[in-house]
Homo-oligomer: A and B are copies of this chain.
Amino acid sequence: MHSLRFTAESSSHGMRERDFTVGGVPGVLWSPVSDAAGRAPLVLMAHGGGNHKKHPAMAGRARLLVSGCGFHVAVIDAPGHGDRPRTAHDEAEIAELFRARAAGEPEGPIVVRYNAHLADLAVPEYRAALDALQELPEIGTEGPVGFWGINMGTAIGIPFVAVEPRITAAVFGQHWPDALADKAKQITVPIEFDLQWDDEHIPRDEGLALFDAFASKKKSLHVNAGKHKELPRYEADSAVRFFARHFGGAVTSPA
């Protein structure tokens, strides 16, 4: 088992930020500045395609969870993303995606195939990161663990949560059912799922089919009018309330 190795630390906006690596995979752990409250729940997040662990969407969600709920939040770079090198296969798939986009062809088949490949690599990395994070005294093995990932974060997160019994609540959204529906059928923990009603890439019935596939007795779907990239910001607030509800915390407004 790989241990967590911290490589940098800073604090801002009432949030402690620690860069780490685990088994060579770079990640970031955001935590309350003060550990006085003792152990706190952890939410693992996965970033979207073409982004990285410290993308503003990740840091913004982390701030809501850390400042609002007192939780820990960790993200690792996906293979070929952020501080990790791209392989020749990564380069070829990205080139193919850009080609299809420029040609006005559907992105779905390429994204589905490439994200499934990345998920095969990322799932054991997420499991190893969780092992190592739970070694930290401020996290431990007793508290609840959540998962939050949209787009490519869902492509990685559904197979991860399907095999990871430590995850007790998860937020997913905005992906195709092709490679994921069978794995979603293995998930029984409470989920919240985001879908854009006018998504130009993911057909409506395919987004709904993926939500439908989850075996969870408690599952909520949040649909908003708008295109793929127009997911409203208040859905991040909703996801934070979802975790607070299931992890027994209250949400306070960030400072």
> Interface of A with B (CB < 8 Å)?
197, 208, 211-212, 216-225, 232, 234, 238, 241, 245
Contact = CB atoms under 8 A, between A and B. Distances in A.
Given A238-B238, A245-B234, A221 B222 contact: yes
A166 B76 CA distance: 49
A243 to B, nearest CB: 13
B234 A225 contact: no
Contact of A225 (B208, B218, B222, B225): B218
Contacts of A223: 211, 220-223
A217 B221 contact: no
A255 B222 CA distance: 29
B197 A221 contact: yes
A9 to B, nearest CB: 34
Nearest to A237: B241
12 contacts: A197-B212, A197-B219, A197-B221, A217-B225, A219-B224, A220-B223, A220-B224, A220-B225, A221-B221, A221-B223, A221-B224, A223-B223
